[in-house]
Amino acid sequence: MPNSVIVVGNPANTNCLTASKSAPSIPKENFSCLTRLDHNRAKAQIALKLGVTANDVKNVIIWGNHSSTQYPDVNHAKVKLQGKEVGVYEALKDDNWLKGEFVTTVQQRGAAVIKARKLSSAMSAAKAICDHVRDIWFGTPEGEFVSMGVISDGNSYGVPDDLLYSFPVVIKNKTWKFVEGLPINDFSREKMDLTAKELTEEKETAFEFLSSA
């Protein structure tokens, strides 16, 4: 992916969309924003709960904005337990935690780290940037997908067109593609729509500012 642009600074999604609009000579598919830190945090929370390593957890999804409305989704995630791969929901058998504390912990992890350390999680962010770039360059492992803020096309998972939204993607030959066809339950739909609404509002505000500048 030549001329690949990765945006990290917050509000990362809307900054990335603004950058894309400001550089029309670069294909919009070459712009992405970092939601890998949230993705890694979601994996870590599941691993901690099950007493395994984060590398034993795969296919979590961060939907939407890199903000407190993001939706960490483990409905399609797998975990390796005693050499066998099972669904995270099946492994944990704790619907209340997965729909409650798990979601809010991932959503608010950045703020919690700053409150505890009086510093941002710079090392975790740097690791996530390395993961993001490595997967763009080398591709995602077979059978695995990752989360990345990319431009929506209006045809995937009911997300409005032309939003910079975090989706599950697979990457091959330095090109990302949406993971299509994952079933979305009502709980997920509500969370995904909420974060899309926030991104739509951010986009409108940003573009008002750009047009008046």
In a domain, 212, yes or no: no
Separation of CA 194 from chain center: 15
Residue 97: domain span: 5-201
Active site residues: 66
In a domain, 213, yes or no: no
In a domain, 51, yes or no: yes
In a domain, 39, yes or no: yes
In a domain, 207, yes or no: no
162 burial type by CB count under 10 A (0-12 exposed, 13-18 middle, 19+ buried): middle
Task: Judge contact between 77 and 87, C-beta under 8 A.
Answer: yes
pLDDT tens digits for range 167-207? 999 999 999 999 999 999 999 999 999 999 999 999 999 98
**Residue 63: both structure tokens together:** 């939907």
pLDDT tens digits for range 106-165? 998 655 544 555 555 678 889 999 999 999 999 999 999 999 999 999 999 999 999 999
In a domain, 209, yes or no: no
Query: What pLDDT score was predicted for residue 114?
Result: 47
Helix (H/G/I), strand (E/B), else coil: 52: coil
Torsion, Cα of 126, 132, 134, 136 (10° steps):
-150
Task: Judge contact between 147 and 167, C-beta under 8 A.
Answer: yes
**In the chain, what's the furthest Cα-to-Cα distance?**
59
The count of domains in the chain is 1
Helix axes 122-138, 36-50, angle to 10 degrees: 110
In a domain, 208, yes or no: no
CATH of the domain at 117: 3.90.110.10
Task: Give the count of beta carbons closer than 10 Å to the beta carbon of residue 196.
Answer: 22
pLDDT tens digits for range 69-110? 999 999 999 999 999 999 999 999 999 999 999 999 999 865
Enter the DSSP assignment of 54.
G
Helix axes 36-50, 109-117, angle to 10 degrees: 80
Query: What pLDDT score was predicted for residue 185?
Result: 97
Task: Judge contact between 181 and 74, C-beta under 8 A.
Answer: no
In a domain, 44, yes or no: yes
